[in-house]
Structure 1
Amino acid sequence: MAAMATESRHWSRFETPSSMQRALGLWVDAVGYQRPKPPEDQLDERTWSYYCVLYISRGRGWFSSTPTGRIEFGAGTLLWLFPGISHGYGPLEGPWNEQWTCFSGPLADQYCQLGYFDPGRPAVSVGDDDEIAGIFRKLEDLFRRGGPLAVSLATSLMHRLFALNHARLSGLADFEAGGDPLVNEAIRIVEAEAHKGLRPEELAARLHASYPTLRRRFKERTGFAVKEYMLNVQLRVARQLLAFTRKKVAQVSEEAGFRDAFYFSRLFKERTGTSPREFRELQA
């Protein structure tokens, strides 16, 4: 563990995760900031063995990597850096303010493979987002205080940051404020009616769209297939019924929109890791 504070505009701290933290599959290695980062402070092409994400809250900058070539971005950007990919970046014209955190682990690789952050789209515009800014402030506070729980608590914040970034990449962040009207309306209908036996083809017909069009646009904006999203909503309804009522599994299956109780039980076990009865017992 080491801490550096060369001057007030620059601070960073590094932590070494414990074997238990490594066993969980994701850990934060370092946290820091530079504000302002002067325009002459350019990072030449280099390759790291870990992930980093920078939050650029002020100024404009450039980024370059093999997958993207050179791109430019403005304030309110999350800039993701990937292990094994040569990259360079720096401010344009004037200084910028950056906060950053580095993280590692096989779970980070899985998040990347699932598209929560993408080497082909490393600069993600998030604007003046209070929640994202708050995550970086909390990361700094945790690493400044240190202690045996610093890495674990910091790592817990990363899951939320990954989800927020994925929402921006997929368009879900615009669900209530713009986005794709077809997908927005599809989500509203599915959330309200998936447990009532709604079928994907019926959904498309109600939206006056062909099913291939709905399927493509829904996948592009949410990362889910239409049917998969419907199943997730149905399983959410089922979990609520199992946790808060004493209804029999067959009745729960029916009220969650599953026509076959045996199929429901098998799917529930596949998706949650427990049978419906085991899930209910765990809630007792």
Structure 2
Amino acid sequence: MKDFIKYLTSSREDENWGTYLTSAGLLRIPPETEYPSPTHPGGYFFTWENGRILQEYQVNYITEGNGILENNHGTFNLKKGDLMVTFPGEWHRYKPHSKTGWTENYIGFSGPAVGFFLAHKLFDPENPVISTGIHEEILDAFLRVFELIKTEPPGFQQIASGMLIKLLGYLVAFQKQKEFSGKEIAGIIEKARFEMRNEVDKNFDLEQFAANNNIGYSYFRRMFKNFTGLSPRQYFLQLKIMRARELLLTTDKSIKEISYLLGFESIYYFSRFFKQKAGTSPSEFRK
């Protein structure tokens, strides 16, 4: 794909969608080249001396070369495979090293729903560089957005915003996978999930499981939550609710029988927890 820079318009309909793109570009900056290009429009151009403040988010994937990013929280080195995030209203500046240049792939975006996705701890102005390495899925996500916005077909903002959310999901997933790659605890967590599913109709002793696998329960609980987003107990209870839904829809068992079968201490606790997770009571769900 050839280098390009594009600034995108958005309608009220696009903005009401919740997330919309504002800019995008692919730039190959050779060594010893002026940066940024003086052809940038006024709202985006900056000098190293002054930096800039944008009113949008940007994700910028460096696929060749090295450089530097500075914001109000510090100075951050950038290398091939790093992705930097800049935030609206935040002063920043960045540039490639003159000896290496770099290749940058960036997307600017905004909208009321963006904060929901970027509330994840991975996206932090104090740590704005995400070291993902070069991943085909991430690069392909950028390139698919670039291909789409070149022609701006009807509804392109809605499609592009979906692609962007998928990209952000990849970033979160790869960082989680990186945390557990090659570690014994990952296998233990998978074993726990397997056994929980097999014993969903029983009471699964989580502390005994940890002891049987020669790890402390507090460590197991913390790592399990990092891996799945849920504590082991919450995970197991959600499996029980999934099983309860199945039994309510496919059997004639009473709610009391299902509660007993799944090991809940009382029908009242079961009904309250079911409504909390399913949004409706077991009896209403069955209707």
Give the TM interval when normalised to the shorter protein.
0.7 to 0.9
- How much has 1:259 moved relative to structure 2? 5.5
2:78 aligned to which of 42, 59, 73: 73
Shift of 1:84: 2.2
- 1:235–1:268 CA contact under 8 A, matched in 2: yes
Q: CA deviation at 1:110?
A: 1.9
Change beyond 3 A, Cα 1:249–1:134: farther
Residue type matched to 1:16 in 2? S
Aligned residues: 268
> Which residue matches 2:128?
122
Alignment match, 1:5? none
- Aligned-pair distance for 1:123? 1.3
Q: Residue 189 and residue 14 in structure 1: after superposition, are their counterparts in 2 closer, same or farther (change >3 A)?
A: same
The offset of 1:131, in angstroms, is: 0.8
Structure 2 CA distance for partners of 1:235 and 1:166, relative to 1, 3 Å: farther
List alignment gaps of at least 5 residues for structure 2.
Answer: 37-45
Q: Distance in 2 between matches of 1:261 and 1:222?
A: 28
Larger deviation, residues 242-251 vs 104-113: 242-251
Matched, 1:27 2:9: no
Q: Which of 76, 80, 84 does residue 89 from structure 2 map onto?
A: 84
Look up the equivalent residue of 1:23 and give its one-letter code.
Answer: N
1:167 matched to 2:173? The reply is yes
The answer as to whether partners of 1:37 and 1:91 remain within 8 angstroms in 2 is no
Change (3 A) 1:128 1:25: same
Decide which moves more: 102-111 or 48-57: 102-111
- Residue 153 of structure 1: aligned partner: 159
For the Cα contact (< 8 Å) 1:81–1:122, is it kept in 2?
Answer: yes
Bigger Cα Rg: 2
Q: Decide which moves more: 220-229 or 208-217.
A: 220-229
Instruction: Give the alignment of 1:183-222 within 5 angstroms.
Output: 183-194=186-197, 195=200, 196-220=202-226
1:124–1:168 contact (8 Å) kept in structure 2 = no
Question: 1:182 touches 1:207 (CA, 8 Å); kept in 2?
Answer: no
TM-score, with structure 2 as normaliser: 0.77
User: Aligned pair in 2 of structure 1 residues 198, 119: CA closer, same or farther (>3 Å)?
Assistant: farther
Structure having the higher strand fraction is 1
Q: What displacement does 1:72 show?
A: 0.9
Match of 1:40 among 22, 26, 34: 34
**Taking structure 1 as the reference length, what is the TM-score of the superposition?**
0.77
Question: Which is further off, 197-206 or 86-95?
Answer: 197-206
Q: Distance in 2 between matches of 1:269 and 1:116?
A: 31
Quickly say closer, same or farther: Cα 1:162–1:12, change in 2 above 3 A: same
Query: How far did residue 236 of structure 1 move?
Result: 5.1
Tell me the percent identity. Answer: 29
Decide whether the 8 Å contact of 1:37 with 1:96 is kept in 2.
yes
1:58 equivalent among 45, 60, 64: 64
How far apart are residue 136 of structure 1 and its match?
0.6
